[in-house]
Every structure is written in C-alpha cells, then in structure tokens.
Amino acid sequence: MYLRTEGIILSRRNFGEADRILTIYTKDYGKISAIGKGVRRPKSKKAGHVELGSWCKIFAARGKNLDLLTEVETKKAFGIDNFSTAKANKIYHLLELVDSLTQHEQKNQKVFFLLLKYLDEISKENNFDLISSVFKVKLLSELGFFSAKSLKGSKSQEFLQSLENDDFENLQKRVKLDKDSYLKLLTFLDSMIENLIERTLKTNRFVNGTV
C-alpha cells in the first residue's frame, strides 16, 4: 500500500550510515514515521526536502512499523527560508509541541492546518509571544486537552476563550499584553503541556532567549 499526502517534518534522527528516520505530521494520516533511505548522502535528491519545518508533498510505501519515503517535494521550507537561529528555534518549538501532544496514525486535518498557519505567521515575523500563546491554546483545545468553558468564574475565562476561538488576525489587533503578562500566560500553558507529556519541553530554553 502506498500513501500520497502532504506533511510537515516534525523531527528526524540519523539511522545507519546514510539514512534518517523522519517524524511527519501529514494532512491525511496524522503523525507517521518514515525512513528516508540515503538522505544523508551529499548527492541525495531527497536531502534538501526533509529539513525540519519543511512542508512537503509526500509519497511513501506503507510498512509494518515504519513507512518508506519514496518521493518528497518541498512546498515551503519554513525552517530554511530567510534563516536565522532565532527564527529556527521558534519553528522547532511549534514542531515539538505537535510531536509531543499527538499520537501516531490519528488523522486530524485541523491540527495540520493549524501548524501550517502558525509556521507561516512565524515566517512573517509577527509577535512570537502572541503566536506561541494562541497556538498552544488552539492546539490544546483541538486535541481535547483544554476548553476555556471549563474555567467558569475565572477572571481569565473570557480572554482565553478569545484565544481559543478567534482568528489570529483579529487577535493581533485586540490583544495588547506586556512582557510580564505574556510570561505568566506562557508559563501557565507550558506547565499544562509539560504535565500532559510528563517531561520538560526541550525547545523552551532556546525560545525563551529569543521571544
């Protein structure tokens, strides 16, 4: 069986002498793992298409435990276009969130398009404190881990409900928080996420120096 879809490269690790095992969040199959044969070789045609944060067309042969990447074509390389270390760290943070909070083979197109949209917002160099806050609330909500409706009586309910439901363009115009308020909000959200995944977010220590 073969799959043909779009996906975003969430993570990768070296395997053998020239291969890489890739974790990809796909539009049609959710999160999958696939092996890219020979992608670490200098002459590999796939090498430039499997960078972290790349949005790709994916062709793969399904395997029992691991799919085999047969063809890949970049649609947009978020992690490479206008590269900077600060920008890359922000992208890797969103990738880690999706990788950590989702299960393999559970299709959720809303998560795919949510990640795609907010990677694009990073590429526009919009306020990352706001991007990170909104993305985390929307991701947690979409995956069923959070609902502002459950915070009845809380002073923050209305604000968090707007982050959960409103589009980013409207929130950009309306949300005006100072650095300390963003820090408190992100600390609350990161604590919730780390309790869910039962570990510390690896990318937080890099992002906190760039936001």
pLDDT reported for residue 197: 97
List, by residue range, all CATH 2.40.50.140 domains of the chain: 2-77
List, by residue range, all CATH 1.20.1440.120 domains of the chain: 85-207
Buried/exposed code over 116-155 (b: 16+ C-beta within 10 A; e: otherwise): bebbebbbeeebbbbbbbbbbbbbbbbbeebebeeeeeee
Q: Which residue has the higher pLDDT, 40 or 90?
A: 90
Average pLDDT value over all residues in the chain? 91
Residue in the structure block whose two tokens are 């993305």: 135
Span 140-164, pLDDT tens digits:
999 999 998 888 767 788 899 999 9
The pTM is what?
0.93
Q: Which residue has the higher pLDDT, 166 or 153?
A: 166
Residue in the structure block whose two tokens are 């604590």: 191
Assigned CATH class of 85-207: mainly alpha
| Contacts of residue 45, Cβ cutoff 8 Å, sequence gap at least 6 | none
CATH architecture of the domain with range 2-77: Beta Barrel (2.40)
Span 85-124, pLDDT tens digits:
899 999 999 999 999 999 999 999 999 999 999 999 999 8
Phi and psi of 178, rounded to 5°? -85, 175
CA 148 to chain centre: 22
